[in-house]
Chain A
Amino acid sequence: MKSSVITFPGSNCDRDMDVALKKFGFKNKMVWHADAELPKSDLVVLPGGFSYGDYLRCGSMASKSKIMQSVINFANSGGMVMGICNGFQILVEAGLVPGVLLRNKYLEFICKNVFVKINDKKNKYFKNVDNEVLEFHIAHNEGNYFCTNDQLKEIEDNNQIAINYCNENGKIEDQFNPNGSIKNIAGIFNKEKNVLGMMPHPERMIDTSLSGEDGSLFFKNLINNLK
């Protein structure tokens, strides 16, 4: 399986994503934001970080990068595109997934482990994951997902919510919501479910010595689903 990770100026989880993808069998290429063409890929990842220093709005300038036109075309033709953290913010700004990401409710950067409940398994990202709940890791300042009521209705009608913040037993309640997101939303699909944006970093959970191993589970499953 071939993957591409885009490096924007200010991306800082690009290497971590490269390490994770390779660990689970992807042949990964790093792609520079100013390139016009995407290499042939089965998966394109927009990594976390602070593209353009989060200036203007998080992800907004990166969404206008030269490479993004190819990414958008790739996504529109059904290609798998995953945005993690700042990558999620870029997807939102590029209009590939609905909604916006506001500053965290308590106006503080949060770095910690969280639990997320998988809301939908009829997609190539979470199909065949045995667990209902995954322990992931977040590290962000602007992960407070927001959208209009109409959008929310559409999202729910189409079952576009990918994961929600919850406790270890899968309970989705306000107290387990780290950043104030509507409906505890931690990740969301486009309508066709080939594009996934999520705040948690599965690439930081790929080793028992790190924060945990549920990221390994995610990537192993993902590459199998793509085969």
Chain B
Amino acid sequence: MIVNEQVAVDHGLKKDEYAKICELLKRTPNITELGIFSAMWNEHCSYKSSRLHLKKLPTKGKKVIQGPGENAGVIDIEDNDAIVFKIESHNHPSFIEPYQGAATGVGGIMRDVFTMGARPIANLNSIHFGSPQNKKTKNLLRGVVHGIGGYGNCMGVPTIAGQTSFDSSYNGNILVNAMTLGLVKKDKIFYSKAAGLNKPVIYVGSKTGRDGIHGASMASASFDEKIEEKKPTVQVGDPFTEKLLLEACLELMAGDSIIAIQDMGAAGLTSSSIEMASKGKLGIEINLNKVPCREAKMTPYEIMLSESQERMLIVLENGKEEQAKKIFDKWNLDFAVIGKTTKSKKIELYFNEEKVADIPVNTLVENSPMYDRKWKKAKLPKKNKIKKEDIKHLKIIEVLKKILANPNVCNKEWIWQQYDHTVMGDTIQKPGGDAGVVRVHGTDKAVAASVDSSAIYCWAHPLTGGKQVVCESFRNLISVGAKPIAITNCLNFGSPENEENMGEFVECVQGIGEASDYLKFPVVSGNVSFYNQTKDQGIKPTPAIGGVGLIKDYKNMITMDFKEVDNLVLVIGKTEGHIDQSLFARTILDEKNGPPPEVNLFNEKNNGETLLKLIDNKLIKSAHDVSLGGIITAVAKMCIKGKKGINIKKPKYLINEIEYLFAEDQGRYIIEINKKDFKKVADILNKNAVHFDELGTIIKNEVYINDKTKVTIDELSTSNKSWLTNYMSK
């Protein structure tokens, strides 16, 4: 095939990008080379629209061993233990083919983690679907959940937490973000930087097929009517092979024969070989005839661009080939020496004894395009004034039931019961709490993880929304008694070529950066997914934040279920009555305008750290952060989980009952304490200048509000549990 500008455009390259390629090579690329450029220069691999802004994120900290730029981030959890973690999107493939798209998303992120030498110990996910009324939603949800379960369950890694939301902006573009945590010894972390000349380059894992060719390019474009034609670009997962690959890699890693290792993810053999060469400032020579292929007559172009799953590339020490091969033979996996490192600083490919590609590595990486896209700053919307007559007729209990049954609040058991969340025998907090918690096997330590996003707030005001998500992650970890350490982010946005979408991206990133800097909660890994849009309709900006924290003694973990009758319930943090963009405003008042709740970073940090002090002093019986649906929703969930009731007395400050109970002010937690500890708790809170309200006392079975309203826990529980099950069984 003759390469010209049109062929380049068909590969998703812009005309000026093609001109730059010709200039860099000082000639016209052949088709294989063009394919390689298109794979490396697309948005998904090159971060060309986002790099400039991502640089501003805080990525360093005392506990950070490895920040962004490797397969995953790594943090120190003491005693020579480290946690490797990352979140990644698999949005486009999941919309086209939900089962395989979601499954390979989970497979891909686990590979990123075990590539670094870590055994995966927990999976999480953040999944977002269109309106429940949209005719595609149900099948997409079912397919995605089956896919996540199908892969994670087979791997034997527990799925310990997640988030599911519904919003019509995802009707044509669902989001599937998967996160994995792995455990590794600090001195046994593996990196992707190649080193040394003439070292064998090894291919291991599954054979290469024609699946997923141009997957990364597909993920860098918007959808249109022809999306069905893109099905063949979706990869097909084989979790069984990945399980074997995991065990084989960890067995090989126990020795000292690996110099560098990189999984073949997006853009397959192309990006893995180039990344290793680029980081090591070396060249790589590959004989493509040596690559194990699943199908006959695959061309160099197809071999280089295939996104077949469950494959790894390894640079080995000389002379260790036999020993390594034995391990892969034992696990019935392909093992092939396909090339070597060179000093050429070029990627040189041979096929049938002919040189089929010859590209300087820096042209693919350092010289890849970087854009300072135009973006539009968002204005802070004006506050709405709630009219008394709009809320006068509302019955609190009816509103509460509606909110508990709202698709974005309701119990998600139907989903997480399909995920094995107990395998590995260390899950001490299951899905459904503020964060999932797993013990560090064989120790007293435990790791907590949570994944959060608040698309509504980000859409209303990206800067505030960006800050808020980081704070929510911080709060969720603290609520289970964990000290927050670091985050990973998955930035899901519309087209960067649209000034408003780009503005949402820039300002969300700024918000994330400000909050993570202030809270000392650095970003250690992440992923950007642009072009989540159909034609020119983008999704609501949805940065998902995966937070990780440490509990030094797992016996001190906190759960959210109310524990004991007669205990006191307090609200930590001040309630100002912010109703705009709350679930109450949007679903009960049908008011979609206004600013999101303000984020006060000082209060977030102070309130959270003070709560950790209370937990350290063993004064907390249960805790839960206040988020969607406000105080009453948080309390109702604690009641439902603990099968206990509460007698609530609204504190006598200005705002009315509805505002007090449903407002979504930030920086708040509900805590349960023993009556006899009240003075101690109040002293600590006062000493740290943390505002608190006495909300009520735990009783049996019923919720009373200011003596005049009453509802049983069973009724609330039914409202909370039935929506999703009913929806999925219809």
A residues within 8 Å of B by Cβ?
9-10, 12-13, 15-16, 19-20, 48-50, 52-55, 108-112, 137, 139, 141, 201, 203-204, 206-207, 209-211
Taking the nearest CB of chain A, how far is it from the CB of B161, in angstroms? 14
Question: Chain A contacts of B423 at CB under 8 A?
Answer: 12-13, 16, 48, 139, 204
Q: Do the beta carbons of B243 and A12 come within 8 Å of each other?
A: yes
Q: Is B706 an interface residue (CB 8 A)?
A: no
Which of these, A9, A112, A139, A209, contacts B332 with CB under 8 Å?
A9
Which of these, A13, A207, A211, contacts B156 with CB under 8 Å?
A13
List residues of B (413-428) whose CB comes within 8 Å of A's CBs: 416-428
Question: Chain A contacts of B419 at CB under 8 A?
Answer: 109, 111
Q: Do the beta carbons of B240 and A10 come within 8 Å of each other?
A: yes
Question: Chain B contacts of A137 at CB under 8 A?
Answer: 422
10 closest Cβ contacts across the A-B interface?
A12-B156, A53-B240, A50-B154, A16-B425, A139-B420, A209-B428, A109-B418, A204-B422, A111-B420, A109-B149
Which of these, A12, A48, A55, A111, contacts B421 with CB under 8 Å?
A111
Which of these, B149, B331, B332, B425, contacts A204 with CB under 8 Å?
B425
Closest to B142 in A: A108
Q: Do the beta carbons of B417 and A111 come within 8 Å of each other?
A: yes
Q: Do the beta carbons of A111 and B155 come within 8 Å of each other?
A: no
Q: Is B652 an interface residue (CB 8 A)?
A: no
Which of these, B240, B332, B418, B555, contacts A108 with CB under 8 Å?
B418
Q: Do the beta carbons of A109 and B153 come within 8 Å of each other?
A: yes
Expressed in whole angstroms, the Cα–Cα distance for A139 and B425 within the complex equals 12
Question: Chain A contacts of B239 at CB under 8 A?
Answer: 50, 53
Q: Do the beta carbons of B153 and A50 come within 8 Å of each other?
A: yes
Expressed in whole angstroms, the Cα–Cα distance for A54 and B427 within the complex equals 25
Known: A110-B417, A112-B417. A210 touches B153 (CB 8 A): no
Q: Do the beta carbons of A209 and B425 come within 8 Å of each other?
A: no
Known: A111-B419, A209-B439. A19 touches B425 (CB 8 A): yes
Q: Do the beta carbons of B554 and A209 come within 8 Å of each other?
A: yes
Question: Chain A contacts of B417 at CB under 8 A?
Answer: 108-112
Question: Chain A contacts of B422 at CB under 8 A?
Answer: 111, 137, 139, 201, 204, 210-211
Q: A53-B241, A109-B417, A210-B425 are in contact. List 18 more A-B contacts (CB 8 A).
A: A9-B244, A10-B243, A15-B424, A50-B153, A50-B156, A54-B240, A108-B418, A109-B419, A110-B417, A111-B416, A111-B417, A111-B420, A139-B422, A139-B423, A204-B422, A209-B428, A209-B439, A211-B422
Q: Is B576 an interface residue (CB 8 A)?
A: no
Closest to B446 in A: A209
Q: From A15, A48, A55, name the one whose CB has the most chain B CB atoms within 10 angstroms.
A: A15
5 contacts across the A-B interface (CB closer than 8 A): A50-B153, A50-B156, A110-B418, A111-B419, A204-B422
Q: Do the beta carbons of A49 and B156 come within 8 Å of each other?
A: yes
Taking the nearest CB of chain A, how far is it from the CB of B718, in angstroms? 16
Question: Chain B contacts of A206 at CB under 8 A?
Answer: 425
Taking the nearest CB of chain A, how far is it from the CB of B431, in angstroms? 10
Q: From A108, A201, A207, name the one whose CB has the most chain B CB atoms within 10 angstroms.
A: A108
Expressed in whole angstroms, the Cα–Cα distance for A8 and B335 within the complex equals 21
Question: Chain B contacts of A211 at CB under 8 A?
Answer: 422
Question: Chain B contacts of A49 at CB under 8 A?
Answer: 156
List residues of B (224-242) whose CB comes within 8 Å of A's CBs: 238-241
Closest to B119 in A: A15
Expressed in whole angstroms, the Cα–Cα distance for A2 and B420 within the complex equals 29
Which of these, A19, A48, A53, A112, contacts B238 with CB under 8 Å?
A53
Question: Chain B contacts of A204 at CB under 8 A?
Answer: 422-423, 425
Taking the nearest CB of chain B, how far is it from the CB of A150, in angstroms? 34
Taking the nearest CB of chain A, how far is it from the CB of B457, in angstroms? 32
Taking the nearest CB of chain A, how far is it from the CB of B118, in angstroms? 16
Q: Do the beta carbons of A50 and B425 come within 8 Å of each other?
A: no
Q: Do the beta carbons of B420 and A55 come within 8 Å of each other?
A: no
Taking the nearest CB of chain A, how far is it from the CB of B348, in angstroms? 36
Expressed in whole angstroms, the Cα–Cα distance for A53 and B149 within the complex equals 13
Expressed in whole angstroms, the Cα–Cα distance for A111 and B417 within the complex equals 5
Question: Chain B contacts of A50 at CB under 8 A?
Answer: 153-154, 156, 239-240, 243
Known: A111-B419, A112-B417. A209 touches B555 (CB 8 A): yes
Question: Chain B contacts of A207 at CB under 8 A?
Answer: 425
Q: From A111, A206, A209, name the one whose CB has the most chain B CB atoms within 10 angstroms.
A: A111
Q: Do the beta carbons of A139 and B243 come within 8 Å of each other?
A: no
Expressed in whole angstroms, the Cα–Cα distance for A211 and B155 within the complex equals 21
Expressed in whole angstroms, the Cα–Cα distance for A110 and B416 within the complex equals 9
Expressed in whole angstroms, the Cα–Cα distance for A177 and B149 within the complex equals 21
Expressed in whole angstroms, the Cα–Cα distance for A207 and B419 within the complex equals 21
Question: Chain B contacts of A112 at CB under 8 A?
Answer: 417
Q: Mark B138-157, 1 if CB is under 8 A from A, else 0.
A: 00000000100110011110
Taking the nearest CB of chain A, how far is it from the CB of B527, in angstroms? 27
Closest to B159 in A: A111
Q: Do the beta carbons of A210 and B428 come within 8 Å of each other?
A: yes
Expressed in whole angstroms, the Cα–Cα distance for A52 and B332 within the complex equals 11
Q: Do the beta carbons of A55 and B439 come within 8 Å of each other?
A: no
Question: Chain A contacts of B425 at CB under 8 A?
Answer: 16, 19-20, 203-204, 206-207, 210
Q: Do the beta carbons of A53 and B154 come within 8 Å of each other?
A: yes
Taking the nearest CB of chain A, how far is it from the CB of B557, in angstroms? 8
Expressed in whole angstroms, the Cα–Cα distance for A94 and B353 within the complex equals 50
Question: Chain A contacts of B555 at CB under 8 A?
Answer: 209
Expressed in whole angstroms, the Cα–Cα distance for A210 and B441 within the complex equals 13
Expressed in whole angstroms, the Cα–Cα distance for A209 and B331 within the complex equals 34
